[in-house]
Structure 1
Amino acid sequence: MHNTPWAPEWLLWVWFGLTLLSVAYVAWDLFTSTPEMKVMKWGWVLVTLYTGPVGLLVYWFSCREPSPGTHETFVAPLWKQAVGSTIHCAAGDATGIIVAAAITGYFGLNMGTDIWIEYAAGFFFGLFIFQALFMKDMMSMSYGQAVRSSFLPEWMSMNAMMAGMLPTMVLLMTRDMRAMEATSPWFWASMSAATLVGVVVAYPVNWWLVKHQLKHGMGTERALGKGGAPVAAEHQHAGMVMAGMTHAMPPTAPSSPAGPPMPRMRMEGDGQVSAGRKALVTVLTLLMLAAGYYVAARYGDLAMRPGQPMSMPEMSMPGMTH
C-alpha cells in the first residue's frame, strides 16, 4: 500500500501555520525595511512560502538589513551572495515544478512522465521569468540578450535543484500517494520538503557560479543590484568610472544615498571561465541529476499515478497462474 504517512497530520498543520507567520514577517520586512531588489523580494517571499521557518532563518542571517544603511556591507560575503543566487534559482525553478506537479496530478499522469514535465516547467519559469527579466533590468540589455546570457547558468542551477527535489518528491509520494494530489496537505508538505532538499543541493553550484561571476548574487536597490562589495569599495569603483569611463554609465543612473551615482552591474564571468571548465561543471550537474533520478527509480515508484490505491506488479493471489 502506498498510504503510510511519513509525519503526523497535526505536525503538517503546525508547519503550515509557522510558514504563514514566516512569510508574513519576511514580506513585511522586505517591503518596509530591507532595500533588496524587487525581484529578489518576491523571490524571498516565494521561497519562504515553500520552506517555512527555515526560509525565515536563512533570510534573517543572510539578507535582512541589521540596521539602516548597512545592507551593501551585510550581504558582501561570498556565502551570502551564493544564498541570494540560490534563492533566486529556487523561486523560479521550484515554482515551475510545483505548478506543473499540481496540474499533472489533475490529469493523472504517471510519476515517470510527471517529473520531466516538472523539470521543463521549472526551467521555463526560472529562465524566462526570474532570470531573464531580472538580468534585463539589472544590466540594461534586451530580453533576448538576457535569455542568452542566463541560459547556461540557469541550466546548471536547475539541474542541481531538480537533483534534490526529484528523489525527495518521488520517495515521499511513494510512501503516501495522497501527496500526488494538490488538494491534499500531504502534497504541499512534500513540496516543502523537496524544495528544502533542492536548495541544499543547489547551493554549492550557485556558489561556484557566483564566485566566477556567471550568476548574480545578493543585491541591493541602492547599488542597482551590484551588491557583494562593501560600501567604501562601491564608492571607489564609482569614482573610477566617473573619472575615466563616464560614457559607460546610463545618463539617468540613480544615486546611492551615501555617495555618487552607481554604474550598472557588469558580469564578466564569460571572459574569466574557460569553455572547458563550464562544460565540466555542466556535466557534473547532469550527473547530479542522473543520481537523483537513480535514487527515485531505485527506491520509489515511477509508475504510480494519482488515485491509484496500490502498486502490485509482482503481487499474486493464491491459485493464480503466470
Structure 2
Amino acid sequence: MQPTWLLALAWVSLAVGFVSCAIVVIDTYLRGHRQPVRIMEIVWLVTVLYIGPAAVRLYWNWGRPEAFSRRRREDQPQRPRRGVVVTQVSRCGAHCALGFVVAEVVLYLMRPDPAQETLWVDYAGDYLAAVTIAVLFRYVGAPGRSGTKVWHALSTVATVELLTITAFELALFGWLTLAHRVVFPEPPLRPDSPIFWFAGQLGLIAGFIAAWPTASWQLGRGLRIERRLSPDHT
C-alpha cells in the first residue's frame, strides 16, 4: 500500500489541475474569450489540466485571444516566436495527454489480468492514440471536402506535428518507465489509483519540456508550424 502522504499529494496535484482547468473554462465560455480556432479551446483545457497554474499563465500570456488583440493595439507582432512555440507544444501535448488517458484506460479494461505489466504495449497504444487524435483534430479544422480534409490532416500531422509528438512521447515513456520500475514500484501503478494519474501528470510535464526544443528547432528551420485559419474554422 502506498503511503498516505503520497496519496494526499496525488489528490492535491489532480485537484490543482481541475481547478486550473475550471479557470480557463470560465474565461473561455463564461467571459466569452473564445478561440478563433475552436479546437484550441480543447488544447488549452487539456494543457492546464496536466500542468496546472503554470499553464494558466501560459494561456493568459500566449493562448488567450485578448493577449494578441492587446499586442496589435501596441503595434507588436501578432504572434511572436515564443507564442508560436507555446501553441505548437501545447497542441501536440494535448494530443499526447488525451492519447495517454484513452489508451491507458482502454488497455487496462481489456487486460485479462489487471496485475499484468505490459508497459511496451501501453506505450504503443499511447503513441498510436496520440497520433490518431492529432489527425482527428486536424481533420476537424481542415477546409474542403472529406477526401481533401483527410489528406490535409495526414500531411499536416506528418510534416508539422509528428516530430514534436515523438519527442513528447519519448520523455513521457522514459519517466513512466522510471516511475514503474524505481519511483513507485510497489504496489504496481494502475489506472485505478490516483498515484498513477499523478505520475502521468509528471510525465506529461516532462514531455512538454522535452518537446519545446523540437518545436523551436522546427520553427528555426523555417517550418510553418502554425497554420493561419480564419475565425470560422474549428
Instruction: Please indicate, yes or no, whether the TM-score normalized by the shorter chain is above 0.5.
Output: yes
Identity of aligned residues (%): 19
Matches within 5 A, 1:102-251: 102-106=105-109, 107=111, 108-126=116-134, 128-134=135-141, 136-137=142-143, 142-146=148-152, 147-174=154-181, 175-177=183-185, 178=187, 180-211=189-220, 212-216=222-226, 224=230
Q: Show CA shifts across 1:279-318 (max 9, x none).
A: xxxxxxxxxxxxxxxxxxxxxxxxxxxxxxxxxxxxxxxx
Quick one: distance in 2 between partners of 1:143 and 1:54?
A: 34
SS in 2 for 1:8: helix
Aligned match of 2:48: 48
1:149–1:19 distance in 2 versus 1, CA, 3 Å: closer
SS in 2 for 1:183: coil
Q: Show CA shifts across 1:159-186 (max 9, x none).
A: 1111211111111122325563111101
Quick one: distance in 1 between partners of 2:192 and 2:119?
A: 17
Quick one: distance in 1 between partners of 2:78 and 2:45?
A: 18
**Aligned-pair distance for 1:204?**
1.6
Matches within 5 A, 1:6-85: 8-31=6-29, 32-65=32-65, 69-70=69-70, 76-85=79-88
Q: Show CA shifts across 1:110-163 (max 9, x none).
A: 11332122222222222x2123333x149x992133122331322211211112
Structure 1 or 2, whichever has the larger Rg, is: 1
Give 5+ residue unaligned stretches, structure 2: none
1:74–1:33 distance in 2 versus 1, CA, 3 Å: farther
Answer yes or no: is the 8 Å Cα contact 2:62–2:68 preserved in 1: no
Q: Which amino acid aligns with 2:131?
A: F
Q: Show CA shifts across 1:229-280 (max 9, x none).
A: xxxxxxxxxxxxxxxxxxxxxxxxx7xxxxxxxxx9xxxxxxxxxxxxxxxx
Q: Which amino acid aligns with 1:41?
A: E
Quick one: distance in 2 between partners of 1:61 and 1:87?
A: 13
SS in 2 for 1:50: helix
Answer yes or no: is the 8 Å Cα contact 1:65–1:74 preserved in 2: no
SS in 2 for 1:142: helix
Answer yes or no: is the 8 Å Cα contact 2:85–2:215 preserved in 1: yes
> Higher helix proportion, which one?
2
Aligned residues: 218
After TM superposition, the score normalised by the length of structure 1 is: 0.59
Quick one: distance in 1 between partners of 2:207 and 2:133?
A: 16
Q: Show CA shifts across 1:21-60 (max 9, x none).
A: 1101112212312544210011100121122222212212
**Aligned-pair distance for 1:89?**
0.7
SS in 2 for 1:213: coil
Give 5+ residue unaligned stretches, structure 1: 226-253, 255-263, 265-322
Answer yes or no: is the 8 Å Cα contact 1:48–1:55 preserved in 2: yes
Q: Which amino acid aligns with 2:86?
A: V
SS in 1 for 2:191: coil
SS in 1 for 2:100: helix
1:207–1:47 distance in 2 versus 1, CA, 3 Å: same
Answer yes or no: is the 8 Å Cα contact 1:75–1:81 preserved in 2: no
SS in 1 for 2:170: helix
